[in-house]
Amino acid sequence: MAVEANADNAAILRQEIARARRRGWMLFGRRLARHRSFQVGFALFFVIVLLAVFADLIAPYDPNKNDYRSLLAPPSMAHWFGTDGFGRDIMSRVIHGTRVSLGIGISVVVMTGILGVFLGMLAGYVRWLDNVLMRIMDGLMAFPGVLLAIALAAALGPSTMNAVIALTITFTPRTARVVRSSVLVIRELPYVEAAMAVGAGHARIIFRYILANALSPLIVQLTFVFAVSILAEAILSFLGVGPPPPAPSLGNIIAEGRNYLQDASWIAFFPGIAIAAAVLGLNLMGDGLRDVTDPRLAAERGAG
Amino acid sequence: MIGFLARRLLSALPVLFVVSLVSFVIIAIVPGDVTAEIAGSDSTEAQRAEIRERLGLDRPMVEQAVRWYGRLLQGDLGQSYLLNKSVTEAVLERLPITLSLAAIALVLAVMLGVLLGILAAIKHDSWLDQGSMSIALFGLSIPDFWFALILISVFAVGLGWLPTGGYVPASESLIGWARSMTLPALALAITQMGVVARMTRSSMLEVMSQDYIRTARAKGMRRHTVIFKHALRNALVPIVTVVGVMTGVLLGGAVVIESVFSLPGVGRLIIGAIQRRDYPIIQGGLLITAATFVFVNILVDLAYGWLDPRVRDGR
């Protein structure tokens, strides 16, 4: 009789926990949906994502088709953003360019996320590794800005894949640091101690208890990594170490437009606006996520 | 303070080690035959072998590393393949331009950013607040090299007020120098201005909600005396901490901005070396820039420790 009652209680308890968890997520979603800058950022970014996904349907022209009858045509009804030195339609190139930029951005986010979690976990969980790993991360972070990415991409050779690798190596250290610092805090919390006490294995403790609770700072960080990757990809392309032309990467279009600043400034202008829109959207979403997940951090703004 | 300095210098050693290792490895990851890249595709195998031997590339990796470190400790970063100069000389003679560009941009970013941040904080929740924060966020979100091109097409090509690029040494003409640095520094400053503005605002808002500010107001002190004498001074301390990070971003950004404006700094040297496959210059430029950044960070930490005694005793 007593045993049955216990089983009942356990089942009720489990339901209760599941319900609380659902409620937590719903509350989180609702707070996020009500956050002004998140709304604006989400809308802005969503438009860019639509452009990237449906580029083939939306772009009015083939982005790589030359048209020698309309070279360097200023913006008009036929070509809203004008044409470049080969008569290619800038609007179509920009729309396809968002696909290249977002593709690289999302690849960098995924790889940085995986590597950052792995290294951050290792450093935070395995004490003797902490010092070594973090000194290596410090060393990688000592290269100012995107200089490391530029040098790596240059050494590996210009390609989309190599740009992703170079950017991942550049942005992983900071992400690993974020993960590590949450792990260090969470590891000492009573519920992790409780899990250890009841004999949970390392894998269970890491994934179920530590990682699950380190997620929100990680997601905020990755939103900013996404934004910075789009900016950095443009820099790599602009310097000629990104995806090689004629790929319509946004940085490539700006680089081409640089030679026509005097006669056709629209070539460089519009791709920059597209980059700014995507990055602004991501920054606003990141601000929103940060405010909602951790109000204390809201004060410490300003992720470069 | 001396102990603090010693600890800080010591902690920079492993960082510098990793930096030098990464700079060394950069050549090793070049796919294919580096010598073919250097000598050109029409070179003979004998020519390539000669280059390989001259550069020590025929030796095992460990031996190359030992040689690299041996030379490095003597301050020798090797010879440029193409410039007929030692790498150290080539980089150091261009470093002042990059540093002055970054420094001007830093000053601009802090001044404009603090101004925007104060404006936003004292007119909290007004259109001025929203306006300045929108400018800050916009600055954070645009690619700086693109902003540089916009500045060129408006102020240089369109209005003709400033040169489109090129460098005039200050020793030749101070005005010419200022004119050649204005647009690059502005373009470089815009992103970090956004960062500073947002930090100043939140830091000001936090300080202004504290008891001693209320006390100062309650005893009848004028609002703007409170803001500028009491609040701002404390609100600016956190800004000092980000100066280190900002310097890094600015040094890195200078690489791109220099090549947009054809300023002969380290950045343009590195980009030129990338195009001409001059690997020792890439290595050396990377190493010296990173070392400069590490050094600046130490200075910033010292400044912070001086401003806030808790920092220097805390560690």
- Asked whether the beta carbons of B115 and B107 are under 8 A apart, the reply is no
Contact residues, chain B, for A284 at CB < 8 Å: 137
Among A147-151, B173-177, B311-315, where is mean pLDDT lowest? B311-315
d(CA A276, nearest CA chain B) in Å: 5
CB-based contact (8 Å) between B281 and chain A?
Answer: no
On whether residue A85 sits in a domain, the answer given is: yes
Return the number of other C-beta atoms located less than 10 Å from residue B15's C-beta.
22
d(CA A282, nearest CA chain B) in Å: 9
Per-residue pLDDT band for A299 (boundaries 50, 70, 90) equals: very low
- Looking at the structure of chain A, the number of domains it has is 1
- Euclidean distance between CA atoms A48 and A102, whole angstroms: 9
Mean pLDDT within A226-232 = 91
Cα four-point dihedral sign B201, B203, B209, B212: negative
Share of chain B above pLDDT 70, in %: 96
On whether residue A3 sits in a domain, the answer given is: no
Share of chain B above pLDDT 90, in %: 6
Per-residue pLDDT band for B109 (boundaries 50, 70, 90) equals: very high
On whether residue A25 sits in a domain, the answer given is: no
On whether residue A244 sits in a domain, the answer given is: yes
Q: Would you state the structure tokens that stand for residue A98, as one six-digit string? A: 């968002």
Mean pLDDT within A73-93 = 72
Contact assignment for A139 to B14 by CB distance below 8 Å: yes
A48-72 pLDDT, tens digit per residue, is 888 878 877 776 777 777 766 766 6
Helix (H) or strand (E) holding A46: helix A36-53
Mean pLDDT within B57-73 = 80
Per-residue confidence (pLDDT) for residue A226, from 0 to 100: 92
* Whether the predicted interface score ipTM is above 0.85: no
Provide the CATH number for the domain around residue A214.
1.10.3720.10
Range of the domain at A194: 35-303
Per-residue pLDDT band for A259 (boundaries 50, 70, 90) equals: confident
Mean pLDDT within B253-270 = 88
Mean pLDDT within A111-117 = 94
Q: Would you state the structure tokens that stand for residue A48, as one six-digit string? A: 């860019």
B76-93 pLDDT, tens digit per residue, is 777 777 777 888 888 888
Q: What is the pTM of this model?
A: 0.85
Per-residue confidence (pLDDT) for residue A298, from 0 to 100: 45
Cα B5 off chain centre by: 23
The most confident of A2-6, A125-129, B164-168, by mean pLDDT: A125-129
Evaluate if residue B315 carries a pLDDT over 50.
no
On whether residue A269 sits in a domain, the answer given is: yes
Contact assignment for B290 to A147 by CB distance below 8 Å: yes
Q: Over the range A161-196, which residues count as b (16 or more CB within 10 Å of their CB) and which as e?
A: ebbbbbbbbbbbbbbbbbbbebbeebbeeeebeebe
B213-248 pLDDT, tens digit per residue, is 888 888 887 877 887 777 777 778 778 778 888 888
Contact residues, chain B, for A163 at CB < 8 Å: none
Per-residue confidence (pLDDT) for residue A87, from 0 to 100: 65
Per-residue confidence (pLDDT) for residue A296, from 0 to 100: 54
- Euclidean distance between CA atoms A37 and A30, whole angstroms: 14
